[in-house]
A and B are shown apart, each in its own frame.
Chain A
Amino acid sequence: GEDVEQSLFLSVREGDSSVINCTYTDSSSTYLYWYKQEPGAGLQLLTYIFSNMDMKQDQRLTVLLNKKDKHLSLRIADTQTGDSAIYVCAEGFAYSGAGSYQLTFGKGTKLSVIP
Chain B
Amino acid sequence: AQSVTQLDSHVSVSEGTPVLLRCNYSSSYSPSLFWYVQHPNKGLQLLLKYTSAATLVKGINGFEAEFKKSETSFHLTKPSAHMSDAAEYFCVVSGGPGANNLFFGTGTRLTVIP
A binds B: no
